[in-house]
Chains A and B, each alone.
Chain A
Amino acid sequence: GQQLNQSPQSMFIQEGEDVSMNCTSSSIFNTWLWYKQDPGEGPVLLIALYKAGELTSNGRLTAQFGTTRKDSFLNISASIPSDVGIYFCAGQRWGETSGSRLTFGEGTQLTVNP
């Protein structure tokens, strides 16, 4: 099925560093969501974006909805060990037939070295 192009696939950083990851698509989405998943658990919603150009923060996390509606990025500032996990972007193209269906990126595996 269709996937979003998410990069990088993995990141190894030192505690305290900033992190940036992004997703791109050939199609327009009207909602972008960012999730974090720990091993064996379900994805946890971090940030939701609804308007092109929108910039939203949640603590040390900042995400933006690209102006073309085909991309989004997530920044994590001053990383800490508990930031370790897999981060997923998801796009939604809401419509009467597509409903709430989400299309996911491949994920970014983040490792933080203390």
Chain B
Amino acid sequence: KAGVTQTPRYLIKTRGQQVTLSCSPISGHRSVSWYQQTPGQGLQFLFEYFSETQRNKGNFPGRFSGRQFSNSRSEMNVSTLELGDSALYLCASSSGRMNTEAFFGQGTRLTVV
């Protein structure tokens, strides 16, 4: 059974640009959550998509957005990049039901210069 796949693994972008990250969950999982990890703030929840609908959203500005497709793959987009957006972006795959595990991908390392 394939794990959670995130692409790309590494990205370097310039301030003001936008970026799209992709996450393919474990087969059969309908929930994809996104997290931002930085040394200063730790792991922070961005949002969760379940059955193509955003079910929950963290405390991030509107520049951060996402979507989920009918095959459960998810993308997150960050517009007008700022230096502070440099981070490891992780997606977590789960069934979306109560009391189930969440499995993470390897992450996308975004560097904004």
Contacts and interface: CB of A to CB of B under 8 A. Distances in A.
B90 to A, nearest CB: 5
Interface residues of B, number: 31
Interface residues of A, number: 29
Given A1-B45, A1-B59, A106-B42, A31 B99 contact: yes
A102 B101 contact: no
* Chain B interface, >50% SS class: strand
Contacts of B94: 100
Interface of B: 4, 6, 31, 33, 35, 42-45, 48, 50, 55-56, 58-59, 88, 90, 92, 94, 96, 98-107, 109
Interface of A: 1, 3, 30-31, 33, 35, 40-45, 48, 50, 88, 90, 92, 94, 97-107
